[in-house]
Amino acid sequence: MEKKNIRIKDIAQLAGVSSGTVDRVLHNRGKVSEEALQKVLQTLKEIDYKPNLIARTLGTKKNFRIAVIIPDPSLDEYWAHSELGVRQAITDWHQYDVQIKTYFFDLYHKHSFEQVTHSVFHAKPDGVVIAPIFYHEALPFLQQCQANKIPFTVFNTNIPEVAPLSFIGQNLYESGRVAAELMCLGNLTEGIFAILHINEDSVNSIHLLDKQKGFEEYVQEKKLPDVKIKVLNIKDTEDPKDTKGIHELLLDDTLAGVYVTTSKGVSFIAELLYQKKQKAPRLIGYDLLPENIKYLEAGTISFLINQNAKHQTFLGVQQLVNYLFLKKEPPQNNLLPLEIITKENLSSYLRSAVPHF
Amino acid sequence: MEKKNIRIKDIAQLAGVSSGTVDRVLHNRGKVSEEALQKVLQTLKEIDYKPNLIARTLGTKKNFRIAVIIPDPSLDEYWAHSELGVRQAITDWHQYDVQIKTYFFDLYHKHSFEQVTHSVFHAKPDGVVIAPIFYHEALPFLQQCQANKIPFTVFNTNIPEVAPLSFIGQNLYESGRVAAELMCLGNLTEGIFAILHINEDSVNSIHLLDKQKGFEEYVQEKKLPDVKIKVLNIKDTEDPKDTKGIHELLLDDTLAGVYVTTSKGVSFIAELLYQKKQKAPRLIGYDLLPENIKYLEAGTISFLINQNAKHQTFLGVQQLVNYLFLKKEPPQNNLLPLEIITKENLSSYLRSAVPHF
DNA sequence: TTGAAAGCGCTAACAC
DNA sequence: GTGTTAGCGCTTTCAA
All structural domains of chain A, each given as residue ranges with its CATH number in brackets, are 3-52 (1.10.260), 63-169+309-336 (3.40.50.2300), 172-306 (3.40.50.2300)
Residue B61 CB coordination number (10 Å):
6
Residue-level pLDDT at A357: 41
- At residue A2, the pLDDT reads 47
For helices B205-222 and B172-184, the axis angle rounded to 10 degrees is 40
Calculate the angstrom distance between C1' of C9 and CA of A59: 10
Beta carbon of B61 within 7 Å of strand D? yes
Minimal C-alpha gap between A115 and chain B (Å): 24
B 113-172 near A (Cβ less than 8 A)? 170-171
User: Are the beta carbons of B259 and B194 closer than 8 angstroms?
Assistant: yes
DSSP state, residue B160: G
**Which residues in chain A have their CB less than 8 angstroms from residue B178's CB?**
342, 344-345
Could you give phi then psi for residue A153, rounded to 5 degrees? -110, 150
pLDDT value of residue A352: 79
Tens digit of each residue's pLDDT, chain A (357 residues): 345 688 999 999 999 999 999 999 998 887 889 999 999 999 999 998 988 888 988 888 778 899 999 999 999 999 999 999 999 999 888 888 888 999 999 998 999 999 999 999 999 999 999 999 999 999 999 999 999 999 999 999 999 999 999 999 999 999 999 999 999 998 767 899 999 999 766 667 788 999 999 999 999 999 988 899 999 999 888 888 888 888 889 888 899 999 999 998 999 999 988 777 667 899 999 999 999 999 999 999 999 999 999 999 999 999 999 888 877 888 999 999 999 999 999 999 998 765 544
> Could you please report the per-residue DSSP string of A200-244?
--GGGHHHHHHHHHHHHHHHHHHT-TTEEEEEEEES-TT-HHHHH
SS3 B290: helix
- Asked whether the beta carbons of residue A348 and residue B186 sit closer than 8 angstroms, the reply is no
What is the Cα–Cα distance from A230 to A249, expressed in whole angstroms?
A: 9
Give the residue ranges of chain B where pLDDT is below 50.
1-2, 356-357
Mutation to test the A interface, candidates B58, B344, B352, most A Cβ within 10 Å:
B344
- Find, in chain A, the residue whose alpha carbon is nearest to that of B344: A178
Q: Is the CB of A23 under 7 A from strand D?
A: yes
Q: Which residue of chain A is at minimal alpha-carbon distance from B175?
A: A345
CA of A231 to C1' of D7 (A): 69
Nucleotide nearest to A20 (CA to C1'): C3
Q: Is the CB of B31 under 7 A from strand D?
A: yes
Amino acid identity for residue B305 in this structure: I
User: What whole-number distance in Å separates Cα of residue A27 and Cα of residue A64?
Assistant: 19
Decide: CB of A55 under 7 A of nucleic strand D: yes
Q: Which nucleotide is nearest to A56 (CA to C1')?
A: D10
Task: From chain B, pick out residues whose CB is under 8 angstroms from the CB of A339.
Answer: 337, 339-340, 345
Distances (CA, A) of A57 to A61, B60, B141: 8, 16, 39
The three-class DSSP label of residue B264 is coil
DSSP symbol at A161: G
User: How far, in Å, CA of B302 to CA of B281, rounded?
Assistant: 9
pLDDT of residue A1: 38
The whole-angstrom distance between A58's CA and the closest CA on chain B is 6
Residue A9 beta carbon within 7 A of nucleic strand D:
yes
- Looking only at the bridges linking them, the beta strands covering B339-341 and B303-306 are antiparallel
Q: Give me the phi and psi of B197, to 5 degrees please.
A: -100, 105
Describe the strand order of the beta sheet including B98-105 as a list of residue ranges: B98-105, B64-71, B127-130, B152-155, B166-169, B333-335
Whether B218 contacts chain A with CB within 8 A: yes
What residues does A194 pair with on adjacent strands? Answer: A230, A258
Per-residue pLDDT at A202: 65
Does B36 contact strand D, using a CB cutoff of 7 Å?
Answer: yes
The β-bridge relationship of strands A127-130 and A64-71 is: parallel
pLDDT value of position B353: 65
- Position A177 scores a pLDDT of 98
